[in-house]
Amino acid sequence: MAYVRKKSVLPIYFVGFVWLLWAVFGSLRRPADYIMAALVSIIAYLLGKLIFPDRGYALPDEDEERDAPPHPEAQAAKEPRSQAQAKPQSTGNPEIDKLIAERDRALGEMRRLNNTIEDEVISQQIDHLEAVTEKIIGAVIDKPAKLPQLRRFLNYYLPTTLKLLNAYDRMDAAGVSGTNIDGTKGKIENIMGTICTAFDKQLDALYGEEALDISTDIAVLENLLAQEGLGGTTLGSQP
C-alpha cells in the first residue's frame, strides 16, 4: 500500500490575495513596506495551511491491484463479452454441429416450459420427452450415418411438439377459463401421451439396423454351433 500526499493550493491563493489587497490599499514604496507585506503573507499562508491542510491518499500497489477481486460491475460488464466470444467446439461436420445446436436449443426450451407449466402430468411428460430427445439426437451424433432417419423428427415432430407446449403455456398463463382456452389445452393434454409414444418409437427405430445385424449374427452362430455339435446346450443344464 502506497501513500501519496496532495498539497493544498488554497494557502498560496491567500498569499496572492494579501499582495493584491496590499497593492490596492497599502503602500509599496519603501523596503519596510515589502517586509511588512511579506510578514503578513507568511501569516496568511500559515493560516491557510491550518484551515486547508494537505491531504493523504492511500494507493494500492500493483501486486495488490492485480490480486484484488474484480469489481462486481466491471465483472458483469466483461461477462457478456466473454460469453459472446466463447464458441462451441466444432466436430468437423457442419450437419452434426447444427444438430448439436438444435439439441441444446430444444432441450433448453423444454426445461423452460417445464418450469412454467404447473400441470404435474404435462410436467412428467416433458421430462420424458427431454430425456428421449437427448438420446435420439445423441444416437445420431455418435453415428452420423443415421441422420437421414431423423429428418422428419427434426423438421416436424420436434418443432411441432414445442409449438404445442408453448401454446399450452401461454393459455395456461392467461389464468382464465373459456371455450377456446380449455378446449385447446384439453386437446394438447390428450395428444401428449401419443407424442411420448412416438418419440419412444423414433428412438427404437434408430437401433433397427443394429438389431437386425445382431439377429443375423445370432442365427449364424447358432447354425455353426449346431454343425459342430455344440449347440442345444445351455449353461447350467448339465448335471
Grade residue 203 by pLDDT with cuts at 50, 70 and 90: very high
- Cell digits of residue 69: 477481486
In this prediction, residues 164-192 reach a mean pLDDT of 91
- φ and ψ at 234, to 5 degrees? -105, 155
Q: What is the pTM of this model?
A: 0.56
Q: How far apart are CA 225 and CA 220, in angstroms?
A: 9
Q: Is the sign of the CA dihedral 68, 72, 77, 81 positive or negative?
A: positive
**Chain mean pLDDT for the chain:** 79
**Is pLDDT above 90 for 132?**
yes
Pinpoint the alpha helices (H) of the chain: 10-25, 31-51, 62-67, 72-85, 94-116, 120-142, 151-152, 158-174, 179-205, 208-227
Q: How far apart are CA 188 and CA 178, in angstroms?
A: 15
Averaged pLDDT for residues 95-103: 91
pLDDT (tens digit per residue) in 23-81: 777 776 777 777 877 787 788 777 766 776 766 555 555 555 455 555 555 555 445 44
* Inter-residue contact 93 to 144 (CB < 8 Å): yes
What's 90-221's CATH class? mainly alpha
Domain ranges of the chain: 2-60, 90-221
